[in-house]
C-alpha cells in the first residue's frame, strides 16, 4: 500500500535536509513526499529546488498560509490512501520506519481514522502521560474519545507522530487555520468524536526538541487561551452527555488547564510585574463552561499547588479500574 508523506515547511534549512534524507533512506519505497514551502526567508526554497527525485513534489506558496492552512494544502495534494504527517524538524527513526508503519496499517480495520505511533511508556513525560498509557486502549471508541482528550489533552502530540486515512481530512472538515495554536488538538478531537482511532508503541519518527520550536515562542501573552477554550468546552459537553460525572471532569479541567496556566500567570505577575497572561487566563478559562467561577477556581488553584497536586487522584476517579482499556471493536459481520 503506497503512502503520502506530507511536509509543510517554513524557514526549515537547519533540519530539513536531514528530514528528507531520512525519507530517501527508507527500505519501504512505495511513497511520495509532498513539501509545501510557506514563504521561507532563509535558504529553504533554494535547497528545495535542487531535489530531483520524481517521488518528491515541491510547492512554493506565494502567500503565507499558516501551519494549518499549509497542512490542508499538502493533504489535498496526497494521491495515496494513507498520509503520514512529517514535520520539517523531525526525521524517521531508522531505515525501516515506513516498513513498521505500513505493517501497522495493514492490521487496522477500515473504520480506524488515524494512528498515533511512538505511544510507548518511554515517551511519557509526566505522571499524567504515564497514566494515559495505562488507561487508553489500542483502539479508541468514539464514545470515549471526548473524555480521553479532555483529560489527557492532545494525545497525538507532535504532528509527526500521526498518520491517517487521506479521505478523513476532507470528510472531517479540514484543519482550522483560525486556530494556529490549537488546530491539531481541535482536529484530532473532532475526528475522534466521529470515528475510532488507534494507538501504537511502534517507533516511527524521532521528534526533535530545540529552541526554535513554535511551542517555545508562542503563547507569551495567553494567545492560546481563547483557542483552548474553543476546544475544551465541546469536549466537556460531549463527555458529560456520554455519562461522565460532570463534577469530577470540571475538577480535572480546572486543575489540568486553568490552574496550571494561572500558575504561569502568577509567576509573570510576581517576577515581571505583568498581569497580562493571568488576566487572559481568567477571562477565557476562568469563565469557561466547565469553570467553578473565580472564587472556587482560586481556591482550587491554591489547594492543588497550581495544578500540580491531586490531578492524578482525580484522573483515577474518572477512570475506575473496571472502566480502563475499554476499546472499540469492529462490528460483527
Write out the three cell numbers for 262: 494561572
Look at residue 215 in the predicted model and tell me its pLDDT.
52
Query: Within 13 Å of residue 271, how many CA atoms lie on the same side as its CB?
Result: 7
DSSP code string of 215-266: GGTS-TTSHHHHHHHHHHHHHHHHHHHTT--HHHHHHHHIIIIIHHHHHHHH
Place of cell 491531586: 310
Of 231, 265, 209, the C-alpha closest to 152 is: 231
Look at residue 121 in the predicted model and tell me its pLDDT.
87
Of 191, 162, 158, the C-alpha closest to 174 is: 191
The pTM of the full predicted model, rounded to 2 decimals, is 0.94
**How far, rounded to the nearest angstrom, does the alpha carbon of residue 115 sit from its chain's CA centroid?**
12
- Low-confidence residues in the chain, pLDDT < 70: 210-220, 322-323, 325, 333
Of 192, 79, 183, the C-alpha closest to 174 is: 183
Look at residue 195 in the predicted model and tell me its pLDDT.
98
Full set of structural domains in the chain with CATH: 3-216 (3.90.550.10), 223-320 (no CATH)
Look at residue 210 in the predicted model and tell me its pLDDT.
57
Look at residue 310 in the predicted model and tell me its pLDDT.
93
Look at residue 332 in the predicted model and tell me its pLDDT.
75
Amino acid at each position: 500500500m503506497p503512502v503520502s508523506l506530507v511536509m509543510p515547511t517554513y524557514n526549515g534549512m537547519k533540519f530539513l535536509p536531514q528530514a528528507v534524507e531520512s525519507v530517501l533512506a527508507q527500505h519501504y519505497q512505495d511513497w511520495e513526499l509532498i513539501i509545501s514551502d510557506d514563504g521561507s526567508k532563509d535558504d529553504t526554497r533554494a535547497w528545495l529546488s535542487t531535489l530531483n527525485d520524481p517521488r518528491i513534489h515541491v510547492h512554493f506558496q506565494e502567500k503565507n498560509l499558516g501551519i494549518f492552512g499549509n497542512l490542508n494544502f499538502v493533504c489535498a495534494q496526497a494521491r495515496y490512501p494513507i498520509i503520514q504527517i512529517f514535520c520539517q524538524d523531525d526525521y524517521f527513526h531508522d531505515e525501516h520506519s515506513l516498513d513498521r508503519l505500513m505493517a501497522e496499517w495493514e492490521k487496522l480495520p477500515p473504520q480506524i481514522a488515524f494512528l498515533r505511533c511512538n505511544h510507548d511508556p518511554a515517551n511519557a513525560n509526566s505522571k499524567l502521560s504515564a497514566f494515559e498509557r495505562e488507561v487508553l486502549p489500542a483502539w479508541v471508541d468514539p464514545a470515549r474519545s471526548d473524555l480521553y482528550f479532555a483529560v489527557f489533552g492532545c494525545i497525538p502530540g507532535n504532528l509527526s507522530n500521526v498518520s491517517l486515512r487521506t479521505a478523513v481530512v476532507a470528510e472531517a472538515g479540514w484543519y482550522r487555520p483560525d486556530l494556529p495554536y490549537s488546530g491539531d488538538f481541535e482536529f484530532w478531537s473532532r475526528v475522534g468524536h466521529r470515528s475510532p482511532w488507534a494507538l501504537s508503541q511502534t517507533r516511527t519518527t524521532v521528534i526533535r526538541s530545540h529552541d526554535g520550536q513554535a511551542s517555545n515562542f508562542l503563547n507569551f501573552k495567553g494567545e492560546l487561551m481563547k483557542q483552548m477554550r474553543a476546544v475544551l468546552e465541546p469536549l466537556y459537553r460531549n463527555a458529560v452527555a456520554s455519562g461522565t460525572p460532570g463534577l469530577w471532569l470540571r475538577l480535572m479541567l480546572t486543575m489540568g488547564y486553568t490552574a496550571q496556566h494561572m500558575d504561569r500567570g502568577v509567576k509573570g505577575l510576581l517576577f515581571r510585574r505583568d498581569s497580562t497572561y493571568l488576566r487572559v487566563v481568567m477571562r477565557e478559562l476562568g469563565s469557561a463552561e466547565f469553570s467553578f467561577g473565580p472564587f472556587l477556581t482560586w481556591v482550587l488553584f491554591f489547594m492543588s499547588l497550581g495544578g500540580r497536586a491531586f490531578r492524578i487522584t482525580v484522573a483515577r476517579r474518572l477512570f475506575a479500574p473496571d472502566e480502563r482499556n475499554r476499546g472499540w471493536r469492529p462490528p460483527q459481520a
